[in-house]
Amino acid sequence: MQLKRVVITGLGALTPLGNSVPEYWEGLRNGVSGAAPITNFDASKFRTRFACELKGFDPLQYFDRKEARKLDPFSQYAVVAAEQAVQDARLVEDKVNPDRVGVIWGSGIGGIRTFQDEMDGFFKGDGTPRFNPFFIPKMIADSSSGNISIRYGFRGPNFVTTSACASSSDSIVAAYNYIRLGLADVMVTGGSEAAITEAGVGGFNAIKAMSERNDDPTTASRPYDKDRDGFVLGEGAGALVLEEWEHAKARGATIYGELIGGGMSADAYHITAPDPEGKGVVLVMENALKDAGIRPEDVDYINTHGTSTPLGDGAEVKAIQQVFGEHAYNLNISSTKSMTGHLLGAAGAIEAVASVLAVKHGIIPPTINHFTDDEEIDSRLNFTFNEAQERPLQVALSNTFGFGGHNTTVIFRKVDM
């Protein structure tokens, strides 16, 4: 069977750097930090009191009041980012066949705000079970893909992937496979997360996963720096429209780039800690390269998982060196989480958007907040520290790893039209 080619024809982004793709890209290029003191709730008693929140997002700019009340923030973000991508791709304007358009979305946590608020109301009451009738539909993770499809009448494959921080990368790979197997013409895919809540921050503090650099939030996310002390929690959404090559050409769609491969693996090591030798990470990158039909030497840029955790960063670098050998020193490597923080289940989606734009524009977003080399990490590698770099790019690889040992890699290639 001849697999079909898959291209990207639409992008959408709600991020701590801006609520549109141009704003997001401008923030990445300029090395802007999205971290600031938390405003979503009173965090004064928490060990971590800062995060990478969305700025200036008002759901009433996108939904009427009644509709907004029916959607948890993670679903609001999903619908808005997907709408940006759908409009960018001109799917409605061009009247594509809705039976051949699907939605696969990713979210690691789903409606945690809704769950927290409903349970808080219950326990503060007299014990009588009075729950909002929208409690369950708002909370469940698949409400994101469901609401996107309802908005546009897309009747193709529709589901949500949940694999912690690999969730939206898994959604991208699943959508890619539906198209290249000929089961759909177009897929709207990506991920969203809205976990900057008391439960989210408290839970990650309890496992000592997050930075506690409250005196200097903007420099707290510092992947590969010797003094990194954990990730910075982020929120938002990223969306991509994937489309079969001939279908996209026939309607004259703008093509950002091509998705040429995806890989998955498991660490099979620990529920939260990475394998210190990076065995699963080696396997996932090798699987993706094989799927794409390219050599390690064909890759120019790696958008790393790079969360700014003491164990995770080093393990990923070891894996990169094992897979790429001497070519590792020719690569640009960067962690855009240094700017956006860690969007959990949405991380893979916004980083896929960043990778596509890097290939399109020939610009590598930086890893900001580097102050001190870590002697455990090879400083000869080009981590694109502190400033963006321009270089001709043909292929970018993006890594995403999640609690539970879930590893996913996607690979994008430049398309010359």
The residue annotated as part of the active site, out of 165, 166, 239, 260, is 165
Pick left, alpha or beta for residue 320 (phi over 0 → left; psi -120 to 50 → alpha; otherwise beta).
alpha
Three-state secondary-structure class, residue 291: helix
Is 52 noted as a catalytic residue in this protein? no
State the residue for tokens 């503060």. 124
Three-state secondary-structure class, residue 241: strand
State the residue for tokens 């003191």. 37
Three-state secondary-structure class, residue 358: helix
- Tokens describing residue 287: 């699987």
Separation of CA 175 from chain center: 15
- 401 touches 409 (CB < 8 A): no
Neighbour-count burial for 2-38, b at 16+ CB within 10 Å, e otherwise: eebbbbbbbbbbbbbbbbbbebbbebbbebbbbbeeb
Pick left, alpha or beta for residue 271 (phi over 0 → left; psi -120 to 50 → alpha; otherwise beta).
alpha
Which run of H or of E encompasses 75? helix 73-89
Q: Report d(CA 50, CA 369) in Å as an integer.
A: 16
Residues with a catalytic annotation lie at 165
